[in-house]
Structure 1
């Protein structure tokens, strides 16, 4: 896909037990500040309420905090679980963030990822996707400043509207989470919203990329809307270092605890439990990059080919590595991976080649200009203060023969 690919992170986050949770959240804030300094475009912050690892309960509070510490990076809810909130209250919070961040907020939505969250609130898991659709049907017009009346079995809106018109016109950007099922793609297409493919590098999610986009486009066409590939984000885990060996050694710090969470809590079989190397499994399956910037470039190119083109790549933040190694990975991606997809050095390369191709002419002209000035000086002041090697280079070290 032509154009400037954006880069960011999808921060659930994942923090194993055994460390200070206050400091863990502070590191998440520091990570977004670090990304802002490195020139990343986006950071998406998750919402979870149980299971111990994913500690951020309110992405809105996190965004409000980190917005004060950053200058450029856009900040999204990744994602707000719509069945957990009355739509008017959620719309009002997002609209307020849109104003206080001066348009840097993005609104990512989904049905809710953890069944344990829904259970605690008495929400039937089987109804979560239906409730997401019902909430989205009213959130879209509310965030455009429209008045909405709607009655469902779980919320009521009577002539509801936001007190303030949105800062971003016509609305804050909205993106719908999608994995393997067509639910997210259908919802995005129905409203002409962005698509957030969270499991883009998992086998099922990878294989469904093109088909989910086709579903979204078909749904959008039925609704008289269009889909924008630039508003499509793909998410996948990635840790890079100077060499593959260094990267693999670094992720040994936390990868087993991350896999434990998905095997025993989230119940997603991401790596084998037969004693084989989990890093080999994740890398060889294409789900993760644990290697060099060149490996990261190859992964993103593979996703571009599979999907047909998208607008942003988001690193799934994993805490596989120690804090300093993790920050270095983000730095290496910014220095060596992002430029490959943003045409950052096209003009520099052309300028370098042009200067190299014309070097003989430029050097000749420069030498001639210097020689003329030296000759002028010799004619006016003599050769007393000119080094002999300079005179020799200019051919001015020979005395004219005496006239016969």
Structure 2
């Protein structure tokens, strides 16, 4: 297999096809030296480009501190991006449930479900940044308990129940939604799973999808979700399992590695601010080798050939999943970023999904019979010439 130089853009696919969707997960990361308004406009332009390329979905994160992840309201982003697109699905990835009154989350969900005609998706999490929680006076040990409590109330409200609920952080009195969802029976809802079992248990209990990192223990997360699902009479589908991986692709490994120099250092500094121990470990193991740094964190810098091999290994390790989400890291400049997504859709996913097997079979058939077909064609032409002008 070619791994250096220009990528090999054709290879026979002989096994059964897959149907893995492709999306992008945008935290997003924008350097603190950039104009915020232009960053936002570039993100909207990116969503339009992803739709053109055929990506199935894109997710936008919620963050309130640190400066690099600039969206505090993914639902506002969804509303604006939906007006600029017509097909791609757009998700809140994720709503930090402990930071909001659950009734207001449910109300905004249903409104967005109608505004987007069912294209909006809703992910739930406890809130990633401890700094966000600190500003709101929420202790880290409170976040996951509030997530569980809040998700239950949100699910009941969106399902049409009248809810009375007393909590240390919110109150409801005979509360109900005045609108039913546009989507039937409910809008698509997911949870994030990472280092605790909370997300998997929520997914099993409410038959939600799972959004998890490809470098983590996907099988353990999914097994716990399935086990919990059986307890509540739910049968989960791996089609709703989304695996997040950081990729940057270019025609050569050298080009890919060079491109990530654009934004890798600001991202590493941000990692150091969030998790000094993780930053120190990555630096100690990889130094300034960009491709190795990203590989240590479960990602890939390389060619489409490398990406196909990477995905095949991941598939063997994790088992089937329904959607591959590429992380929108902004390690590269905008043009290199768009090209990376284009290479993924043009050359990686068709091979990984084995979508061209019938085209390849047709080509092989024509090629194997080329002498016979060519001979028959020449004979037909000669006959036509010989009989020219005759009745």
The answer as to whether partners of 1:185 and 1:215 remain within 8 angstroms in 2 is: yes
In structure 2, the CA distance between the partners of 1:136 and 1:247, relative to structure 1 (3 Å rule), is same
Q: Are residues 374 and 31 of structure 1, via their aligned partners in 2, closer, same or farther at CA, if it must alter by over 3 Å?
A: same
What is the CA–CA distance in structure 2 between the aligned matches of 1:350 and 1:286, rounded to whole Å?
Answer: 38
3-state SS, counterpart of residue 130 of structure 1:
helix
Q: Distance in 2 between matches of 1:122 and 1:101?
A: 34
2:361 corresponds to which residue?
350
Q: 1:287 maps to which residue?
A: 298
Measure, in 2, the Cα distance between the counterparts of 1:28 and 1:90: 23
Give the equivalent residue in structure 2 for 1:310. 321
Q: How does 1:123-142 map to 2 (within 5 A)?
A: 123-142=138-157
Find the counterpart in structure 1 of residue 5 from structure 2: none
1:200 is matched with which residue: 197, 205, 214?
214
Deviation by residue 1:175-226 (Cα, 9 ceiling, x = unmatched): 10011221211111121111000x322xxx2xx2211111111111111212
Matched, 1:236 2:250: no
Distance 2:276 2:94 in 1: 20
1-structure distance, mates of 2:72, 2:294 = 31
Deviation at 1:233, TM superposition (A): 0.5
Please report the TM-score for the alignment, with normalisation by the length of structure 1.
0.88
CA 1:327 to 1:346, structure 2 compared with 1: closer, same or farther past 3 Å? same
The answer to whether the 8 Å contact 1:189/1:220 transfers is yes
Of the candidates 176, 194, 198, which is equivalent to residue 161 of structure 1? 176
Counterpart of 1:36? 51
Following the alignment from structure 2 to structure 1, what is the Cα–Cα distance between the partners of residues 361 and 159? 45
Q: CA deviation at 1:347?
A: 1.6
Q: 1:13, 1:317 within 8 Å by CA — same for their partners in 2?
A: yes
Q: Is the 8 A contact 2:129 2:274 kept in 1?
A: no
| Structure 1 partner of 2:20 | 5
Structure 2 stretches lacking a partner, 5+ long = 1-15
- Residue 261 (structure 1) aligned to one of 270, 289, 292: 270
Decide which structure has the larger Cα Rg and report it. 1
**Partners of 1:134 and 1:38 in 2: CA distance:** 39
Partner residue of 1:340 out of 340, 346, 351: 351
Residue pair 2:28, 2:328 contacting (<8 A) in 1 also:
yes
In 1, Cα distance between equivalents of 2:348 and 2:318: 19
Moved more, 152-161 or 90-99: 152-161
- Structure-2 change in CA distance of 1:115 and 1:340 (3 Å): same
| 1:45 matched residue in structure 2 | 60
Supply the distance in 2 between the matched residues of 1:60 and 1:212 (Cα, whole angstroms).
27
Query: Aligned pair in 2 of structure 1 residues 80, 286: CA closer, same or farther (>3 Å)?
Result: closer
Q: Which residue of 2 aligns with 1:84?
A: 99
Contact 1:145 1:166 in 2 (8 A): no
Structure 1: 5+ residue runs without aligned partners? Answer: 381-404
The offset of 1:95, in angstroms, is 0.9
Equivalent position of 1:213 in the other structure = 222
Q: Does structure 2 retain, via aligned residues, the 8 Å contact 1:272–1:281?
A: no
C-alpha separation in 2, matches of 1:33 and 1:185? 32
